[in-house]
Copies of this chain bind each other. A is one copy, B any other.
Amino acid sequence: MKNQYFSRRKFITATTALAAFSSMSFATNNKPLNAVRTEGSEREGLLPEKMTVGMVVFEGFQLLDTFGPLEMFGSLRDEVQIVIIGEKKGAVKSSAGPAVVVEYDFADAPKLDIVMIPGGGGTRREVNNPVFISAFKLLAQATPHVASICTGAAVLARTGLLDGVKATTNKRAFKWATSQGPNVKWIAQARWVEDGRFFTSSGISAGTDMALALIARLFGQDTAVRIANGAEYGWNNDPHHDPFAKLNGLVD
């Protein structure tokens, strides 16, 4: 799907990145969807005219997998709101130590437009956590755009939703990650892979390039380039440019 936002949003994106860059406004106090469901038809706290991007985290998530993509979406502050989702609310530690605050558990998660899942050492535990897998599967089924970064693809593969879908994952952990989804059409050499509503990226830093590709798909190429330039980021915007497949012996 080329999605419902593109045409409506296209005309207002030209000035968004610059405005967001100089803005000091922060995300407002989001409230859970469940509370709103009993109160009315509108989501309270979350603004219905904004696109909602949800990042699903777990103990031992990888920092750059998570915050590289969110940096890029965060530049669209007038168009996008970001929520952090996990199995439990509260502080969740990354593999490097620093903790992020989970605002929503799976039961309370608002309706999303994009759901993303990072990699990290914690994926080794979560692929064997049926509660996490089934809750994440429900969320991904209900969300128009689904993205994974690094070994987050292993968790996504365990939901079964990637069966028959082209996808990629971390190159150093390729064997382990791909073993979690024997029916996925894994691609060894790719910075990221887009297949229908699924975007999957290679390891760690590749998620940032993929996020810009997803932004290009939803908001236009010019917006993605402007965001990359605003972040002084040398965007690898070629999904086929992946020197790390060869470096890790996955291709000749």
Contacts and interface: CB of A to CB of B under 8 A. Distances in A.
A135 B51 CA distance: 39
Contact of A230 (B67, B83, B122, B172): B172
A95 B233 CA distance: 18
A100 B91 CA distance: 8
Query: How many copies of the polypeptide does the oligomer hold?
Result: 2
Given A170-B232, A203-B232, A234-B236, A74 B96 contact: yes
Interface stretch (A21-29, A34-42, A138-146, A179-187): A21-29
Interface residues of A, number: 58
Interface stretch (A6-14, A55-63, A155-163, A216-224): A55-63
Contact of A82 (B84, B98, B208): B98
Interface in A42-98: 55, 59-60, 62-64, 66-68, 70-71, 73-75, 77, 81-84, 91, 93-98
A26 B82 contact: no
A63 B59 contact: no
A125 to B, nearest CB: 8
A84 B99 CA distance: 9
Which residue among A98, A170, A243 has the maximum number of chain B CB atoms within 10 Å of its CB? Answer: A98
Contact of A63 (B62, B70, B93): B70
